Chain A
Amino acid sequence: MKIKVENKKFTGLGLAPLAPDIGRADIKQVPTRNGYGEALVELGEKNPDVVVLTGDLSDSTRAAEFAKKFPERFFEVGVAEQNLMGIAAGLALSGKTPFVSSYATFSPGRNWDQLRVSVCYSRANVKIAGAHTGVSVGPDGATHQALEDIAITRVLPNLTVVVPCDSLQTKAAAIAACQIQGPVYFRFAREATPVFTTPETPFEIGKAQLLRDGGDVAVIGCGPVLYHALLAAQELGKEGLSVLVLNNHTIKPMDEEAVVACAEKCGAVVTLEEHQVSGGAGSAVCEALAKYFPVPVEMVGMQDTFGESGEPAELIEKYGMGKEAVISAIKKVLTRKKKGNS
């Protein structure tokens, strides 16, 4: 296959402002779920129609602060995720804007049919927050590490799917989700992860974000693991490789224009996500590239296996979603790119 590689100037995407301390050991780290908790309180103050529901997980999903401030608009549904989603749909059909707070393994894991029919088919204005995604959930083990949620949500019509990359972006995503009329799923994580965007970094659902410009290879990914891509890009930069990093935070509707433009510019793509590689964000990228601009792709993510107990950093390392894994995927894809061109 002949791959067209143009060294033209990247257009259509401005470089997003990032934190100055990327790569430093003391970069500020905050769990993405904290951003969700802050957004809920802010939204609660501004919008009297915002209500929050949880299935016995108010504290760990960070919905507890909202519950304290607005007890009459907070509903404890108990460990009953099907009912949780159904009640949210009923509230939405009566004009409320419900935020459903649970772990992604349970919601949308255990109530996917309710999400499909009561929410998406009915176009009920429900916002679904899936906490504890990825192997970085850690010691709780495979049962609680959501690695399939992007796949099962992005197939649903009418549903927007967003994967924010740090706590600031999670807050921005929750606020942006509230402004959309219609169902939105967004996921976040348990562990503290680097805050690499800034309060000034713009966020718009459906608009991918250029974190770093480059011309040799494009890493297109989502979520906190994008930090590993930035580290990989820094390191490879020293070897003279120019790595582009695109924060493809909205899996649906995906910013196909940006994805294709990056592929066109670099001629090789590495996808990155803390999720199964089949059916997830990387698959969405591959679908767009297959349609519009096929280039060699390597996919970094969970390779069709479950996680296990361990420390988050160990698990990211073992299952190949850290800096080293990104570097080796980049090298592999560059070899393929070279072969394709020769």
Chain B
Amino acid sequence: MQKLTASELQLKANDLRQDVIEMLLEAGSGHSAGPLGTADIFAALYFNVLNHDPKNPKWVGRDRLVLSCGHICPILYAALAESGYFPTEELKTLRKLGTRLQGHPHNLDLPGIENSSGPLGQGFSQAIGMALAAKLNHERHRIYCISSDGEHDEGQIWEAIMFAGKNKLNNLTVILDRNNIQIDGYTEDVMPLEPLRDKYEAFNWHVLEIDGNNIHEIMDACGEAKTIYEKPTIIIAHTVPGKGVGFMEFDYKWHGTPPNKEQAARALHELRTLRGAIKSEHE
């Protein structure tokens, strides 16, 4: 796949955000904050970092993207459709009867989906299994796993972190969406996770900390992870939940809520005018 430049990726992230708003409005349920907050990460991965071929989704040599926090799947679906895995018109079928775009992703339904997820913590372990298989087969592709901060409440996540550190899985890059919110409130109120950097370092991981809404930093961090030979890499990506839509940003109430019609129109206007920076809406 042709790799986009940083400025093209920023526009692509904006497109993905618009897809997300339109999908959630149509579905009438689903999560808003996470998908918007990680749009830059998904744009960078699918249109630059990942070595993949949407026309050949089962290609053995592809990099794997394992979504562990399945509830942010609207952004995954948008990235897959915009990459050419399936028609973008299908995005509007999210969560509807008979759809391939299940409320939480199902690996057997859609091309490009590596794993089923929803119950938190499970994708992280599956990513490890895939990394082990690649090592056994002497294959050079990488495994990327997107995990959420709320997900780090799960014991399974820490079991997985221990295992990956012990086994020096340098072909594994985990991107942690550190947006500080979960369903019941702010992560540090619900169940404090800090100091995350120290914890990962103690478990023998290479730790990078970035602005997860900055395309340059995302690409640089993914590049650096490839150069680490003795450890798995965790990229703690500080993101703004609801990024790109002013009234959703930083507010945990948008974790599991979709916009209504009026809110969606406002959100799309914001995204299309880059918050009023340009006069006419681009589409």
Residues of A within 8 A of B (CB): 51, 72-73, 75, 77-78, 80, 82-83, 85-96, 98, 113-114, 117-118, 121-123
B125, A78: Cβ atoms under 8 Å?
A: no
B126, A86: Cβ atoms under 8 Å?
A: yes
B132, A87: Cβ atoms under 8 Å?
A: yes
Task: Indicate which residue in B108, B125, B129 contacts A94 across the interface (CB closer than 8 Å).
Answer: B129
Task: Indicate which residue in A77, A78, A118 contacts B122 across the interface (CB closer than 8 Å).
Answer: A118
* Most chain A beta-carbon neighbours within 10 Å: one of B107, B118, B122, B159: B122
Known contacts A87-B129, A118-B115, A121-B116, A80 near B162 by CB under 8 Å: yes
Q: Kindly state whether residue B117 has any CB partner on chain A within 8 Å.
A: yes
A interface SS class:
helix
Shortest distance from the beta carbon of B107 to any chain A beta carbon, whole Å? 5
Known contacts A89-B125, A118-B115, A118-B116, A83 near B133 by CB under 8 Å: no
Residues of B contacting A77 with CB < 8 Å?
159, 163
**What mask results when residues 137 to 178 of chain B are scored 1 for a CB within 8 Å of chain A, else 0?**
100000000000000000110011011000000000000000
B129, A117: Cβ atoms under 8 Å?
A: no
Known contacts A77-B163, A93-B107, A87 near B125 by CB under 8 Å: yes
Residues of B contacting A95 with CB < 8 Å?
133
- Report the bound CA distance from A91 to B134 in whole Å: 9
Between-chain CB contacts (< 8 Å), 30 pairs:
A75-B132, A78-B162, A78-B163, A80-B156, A82-B125, A82-B156, A83-B125, A83-B156, A83-B160, A86-B125, A86-B128, A86-B129, A86-B160, A87-B132, A87-B160, A89-B126, A90-B126, A90-B128, A90-B129, A90-B132, A91-B133, A92-B129, A93-B114, A93-B129, A113-B119, A113-B122, A114-B156, A117-B122, A118-B122, A118-B126
Residues of B contacting A118 with CB < 8 Å?
115-116, 122, 125-126
Residues of A contacting B137 with CB < 8 Å?
94
Known contacts A78-B162, A83-B125, A90 near B133 by CB under 8 Å: yes
Shortest distance from the beta carbon of B45 to any chain A beta carbon, whole Å? 19
In the complex, number of A-B residue pairs with CB atoms less than 8 Å apart: 101
Task: Indicate which residue in A73, A83, A123 contacts B163 across the interface (CB closer than 8 Å).
Answer: A83
* Most chain B beta-carbon neighbours within 10 Å: one of A87, A91, A98: A87
A114, B162: Cβ atoms under 8 Å?
A: no
- Report the bound CA distance from A122 to B115 in whole Å: 7
B163, A94: Cβ atoms under 8 Å?
A: no
A117, B159: Cβ atoms under 8 Å?
A: no
Known contacts A78-B162, A83-B160, A114-B125, A90 near B119 by CB under 8 Å: no
Known contacts A90-B129, A113-B119, A118-B122, A80 near B134 by CB under 8 Å: no
Q: Kindly state whether residue B278 has any CB partner on chain A within 8 Å.
A: no
Shortest distance from the beta carbon of A219 to any chain B beta carbon, whole Å? 40
Residues of B contacting A82 with CB < 8 Å?
121, 125, 155-156, 159
Beyond A85-B125, A87-B160, A118-B116, 4 additional pairs, beta carbon < 8 A = A90-B115, A90-B129, A93-B129, A117-B118
| Closest CB pairs A-B (n = 8) | A90-B129, A86-B125, A94-B133, A83-B159, A80-B159, A90-B126, A82-B156, A91-B129
Task: Indicate which residue in A85, A91, A114 contacts B132 across the interface (CB closer than 8 Å).
Answer: A91
Name the CB-closest residue of B to A75: B132
- Report the bound CA distance from A121 to B159 in whole Å: 22
Name the CB-closest residue of B to A73: B136
Task: Indicate which residue in A93, A96, A121, A123 contacts B126 across the interface (CB closer than 8 Å).
Answer: A93
Q: Kindly state whether residue B268 has any CB partner on chain A within 8 Å.
A: no
- Report the bound CA distance from A94 to B124 in whole Å: 15
**What mask results when residues 85 to 124 of chain B are scored 1 for a CB within 8 Å of chain A, else 0?**
0000000000000000000001110000011111101101
Residues of A contacting B121 with CB < 8 Å?
82, 86
Q: Kindly state whether residue B130 has any CB partner on chain A within 8 Å.
A: yes
**What mask results when residues 42 to 61 of chain B are scored 1 for a CB within 8 Å of chain A, else 0?**
00000000000000000000
Known contacts A90-B129, A91-B129, A96-B136, A78 near B115 by CB under 8 Å: no
Q: Kindly state whether residue B222 has any CB partner on chain A within 8 Å.
A: no
- Report the bound CA distance from A77 to B166 in whole Å: 10
Residues of A contacting B116 with CB < 8 Å?
117-118, 121-122
Residues of A contacting B236 with CB < 8 Å?
none
- Report the bound CA distance from A85 to B160 in whole Å: 11
Residues of A contacting B160 with CB < 8 Å?
83, 86-87
Q: Kindly state whether residue B80 has any CB partner on chain A within 8 Å.
A: no
Q: Kindly state whether residue B267 has any CB partner on chain A within 8 Å.
A: no
- Report the bound CA distance from A222 to B160 in whole Å: 36
Residues of A contacting B129 with CB < 8 Å?
86-94, 98
- Report the bound CA distance from A89 to B125 in whole Å: 8
